[in-house]
Amino acid sequence: MVDIGQNGPMPLHPQIEAIAASMPIHSFEEMDVDDARQAHAAGAAGRPKGPDMADVSEFVIGGCEVTRLQPKNADGSAVVFFHGGGWVLGSRATHDGPCRHLAARSAATVFNVEYRLAPEHPFPAAHDDAVEVTRALLLGADESIDGSRVAVAGDSAGGNLAVAAALALSDEPASLAALLLIYPALDATMSTASYLEFADGPFLTASDMAWFYDTYAQGTDPRDQRLSPAWAAKLDGLPSTLVITASHDVLRDEGEEFARAMAAAGCDASASRHVGATHGFFGWSHAAAPSRTAITLAAGWLSETLS
């Protein structure tokens, strides 16, 4: 099922609009990569930490540094989480808050992954990291979790990596139980209608996405399924999936179309469009009701799917 709420023009939610208006305007393609990373990190630094955990530990899993967030109500299930930031920006620190909320509300232990970033490590480095970390956890790299109750999740570029890892592992004996995609970037051709509708934002623009793809992909065929899961030839091996989209987002249509394609292939897949929200809203639970609604939906779905 794809729940897209209302159709046609709609206003931004007032709290989302206030947050978007308060943020500095950045044109990433005109910035040095280090400056872009600092600006992105500064935007996340002022947000509340999120719920306390029973245990916070750091490990190296599948060649990547990983922070394990174990909630007080941990039930043995797990979520492997890949942060957004266009494969160029972001870190475990920028997404610590949302990961803590998902852990506390779902009872799953969340593994927040520090994968390699472009341009220092161009495609397919981040893809390969996502596959290796996920495979390692499915095969028992952490004895505190049940390998049969593992989800993979991510927002934006992290959603891309989550799907790509699920596709790469779909034929392996150890299988994923769930896939949570938060406004995922799935199609490097950037050809859906929402790219035209929201080319100038708010928050994320079409030119931002072009810069991210250029910096990460560096000439890779935009239809390579490791880069563009929307072009995957086979979807029927993917696990139960929830796609969360924002109404005012260039990535909206490709996420919802992917859920439809999965359902047509016989997968258990659904999408939920959050009306009045922009790209990035999932991380604004301290100040925006739509974010809290989305986190509640995502955590509840994880809890039910991984039970």
User: Mind telling me the catalytic residues?
Assistant: 156, 249, 279
DSSP β-bridge partners for residue 82: 113, 154
Q: How far apart are CA 169 and CA 139, in angstroms?
A: 12
> Residue 1 CB: number of other CB atoms within 10 A?
11
Choose among 90, 82, 30: nearest CA to 210: 30
Three-class SS of residue 151?
A: strand
DSSP β-bridge partners for residue 81: 112, 153
Q: How far apart are CA 89 and CA 83, in angstroms?
A: 9
Contact 235, 260 (CB under 8 A): no
**Residues 185, 191, 192, 198: is their CA dihedral positive or negative?**
positive
